[in-house]
């Protein structure tokens, strides 16, 4: 008598959805899955003729298992174990194919009740992971074959275990404390987005007037700093880059060319990175500020050459804008 029964396949019958799943050690098949059946019966490419024959033989054997399951899906009730592959007294292929019984006993099918999410996750993992399938079959051979230990097996016998699965509907429990936390975060995020939109409108107006008056340029700078604080609160790198571009524009309007050039170069590098490509407008914004900076720089040099003296940066900027 063997300590563990060599199980070759497990059949999961799910009456609630009228589907049958056959899990062998190599693959998972589903009834009405024609693509899977075609892949199942096709042979794997091998270089040795004997390997090809063995592989085709195994595929043919698994195909016979699957045909047996489809033809006898509703007849997995208690039945005597047959001594060969012929039909038993009930007129169906017996549950343990090819088993030689020492005494006449009944073999029962398994009935399990499982959460539907857990069942589909288990089935997916069985179809994807060979290691998971091997562990599953080891567990089945140790724990689920006590009722057929009275049989003797050899290498030609095929053993399949029928499992009827009752899917339990998922009944999630509401986590009210977590819902309150998420609700507060979403509400805060919506308010921050609304404030960012208003500040963008206000900052754009001040920036447009900043070309004619330094007071408006200074106000636009304060608005940009407020936007930067909100962007840091959100944690969005694209919004942070946009706020830095606004600050660079404010620096340019007030005549701080060196600081503007350094900040724009840094933001342009980010806009060209993989993270910054999520918003293609960032690179164009940097280019537009750069072009405007070069234009104002050329005007400043021309104005200095004409006047013949060197004023401070804010004074030179005011002279350029007044001209």
Distance separating alpha carbons of residues 109 and 231, to the nearest angstrom: 61
Tally of domains within the chain: 2
Distance separating alpha carbons of residues 84 and 156, to the nearest angstrom: 11
The mean pLDDT value of the chain amounts to 70
Per residue in 191-216, pLDDT (tens digit) is 888 888 888 888 888 888 887 888 88
Same structural domain for residues 180 and 200? yes
Facing residues of 163 across strands?
A: 12, 110
Same structural domain for residues 60 and 131? yes
pLDDT-derived band at 291 (thresholds 50, 70, 90) equals very high
Distance separating alpha carbons of residues 52 and 49, to the nearest angstrom: 5
Last residue of a domain, one of 168, 203, 232: 168
* Domain extent at residue 40: 9-168
Last residue of a domain, one of 168, 190, 212: 168
Decide if 2 is inside a domain.
no
**Could you please report the per-residue DSSP string of 132-154?**
HHHHHHHHHHHHS-GGGTTEE--
Q: Could you tell me if residue 135 is left (phi over 0), alpha (psi between -120 and 50 degrees) or otherwise beta?
A: alpha
Mean pLDDT lowest among 26-35, 150-159, 297-306:
150-159
> What are the structure tokens assigned to 251, written together?
């620096």
pLDDT-derived band at 1 (thresholds 50, 70, 90) equals very low
CATH code for the domain in which residue 200 is found: 1.25.40
Question: Which pTM does this prediction carry?
Answer: 0.42
Same structural domain for residues 181 and 247? yes
* Start-to-end CA span in the chain (Å): 105
Same structural domain for residues 146 and 180? no
Decide if 4 is inside a domain.
no
Mean pLDDT lowest among 76-85, 259-268, 304-313:
76-85
Distance separating alpha carbons of residues 274 and 282, to the nearest angstrom: 12
Same structural domain for residues 111 and 28? yes
Last residue of a domain, one of 151, 168, 185: 168
Same structural domain for residues 24 and 158? yes
Which residues make Cβ contacts (< 8 Å) with residue 293, sequence separation at least 6? 252, 257, 260, 261, 264
Per residue in 54-89, pLDDT (tens digit) is 555 555 655 555 555 455 444 433 333 333 333 233
Same structural domain for residues 87 and 217? no
Count CB neighbours of 217 within 10 A.
25
Decide if 1 is inside a domain.
no
Distance separating alpha carbons of residues 76 and 63, to the nearest angstrom: 19
**Could you please report the per-residue DSSP string of 229-264?**
HHHHHHT-HHHHHHHHHHHHHHHHHTT-HHHHHHHH
Same structural domain for residues 21 and 164? yes
Same structural domain for residues 248 and 137? no
Decide if 71 is inside a domain.
yes
């Amino acid at each position: 008598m063997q300590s563990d029964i060599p199980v070759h396949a497990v059949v999961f019958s799910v009456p609630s959805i009228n589907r049958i799943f056959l899990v062998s050690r190599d693959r998972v098949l589903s009834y009405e899955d024609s693509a899977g059946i075609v892949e199942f019966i096709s042979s794997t490419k091998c270089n040795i003729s004997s390997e090809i024959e063995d592989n085709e033989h195994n595929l043919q054997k698994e195909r016979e298992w699957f045909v047996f399951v489809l033809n006898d899906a509703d007849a997995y009730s208690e039945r005597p174990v047959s001594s060969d592959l012929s039909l038993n007294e009930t007129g169906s292929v017996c549950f343990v194919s090819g088993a030689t019984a020492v005494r006449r006993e009944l073999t029962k099918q398994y009935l399990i009740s499982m959460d539907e999410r857990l069942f589909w996750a288990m089935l997916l993992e069985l179809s994807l992971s060979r290691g998971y399938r091997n562990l599953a079959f080891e567990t089945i051979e140790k724990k689920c074959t006590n009722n057929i230990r009275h049989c003797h097996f050899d290498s030609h016998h095929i053993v399949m275990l029928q499992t009827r699965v009752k899917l339990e509907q998922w009944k999630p429990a509401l986590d009210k404390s977590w819902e309150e936390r998420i609700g507060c975060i979403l509400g805060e995020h919506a308010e921050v987005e609304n404030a960012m939109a208003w500040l963008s409108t206000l900052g754009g107006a001040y920036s447009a007037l900043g070309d004619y008056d330094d007071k408006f340029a200074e106000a636009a700078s304060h608005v940009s700093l407020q936007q930067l604080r909100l962007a840091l609160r959100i944690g969005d790198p694209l919004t942070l880059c946009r706020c830095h571009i606004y600050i660079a524009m404010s620096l340019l309007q007030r005549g701080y060319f060196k600081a503007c050039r350094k900040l724009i170069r840094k933001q342009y590098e980010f806009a060209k990175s993989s993270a910054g490509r999520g918003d293609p407008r960032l690179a164009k914004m940097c280019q537009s500020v750069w072009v405007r900076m070069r234009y104002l720089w050329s005007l400043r040099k021309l104005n200095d050459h004409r006047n013949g003296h060197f004023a401070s940066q804010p004074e030179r900027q005011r002279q350029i804008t007044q001209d």
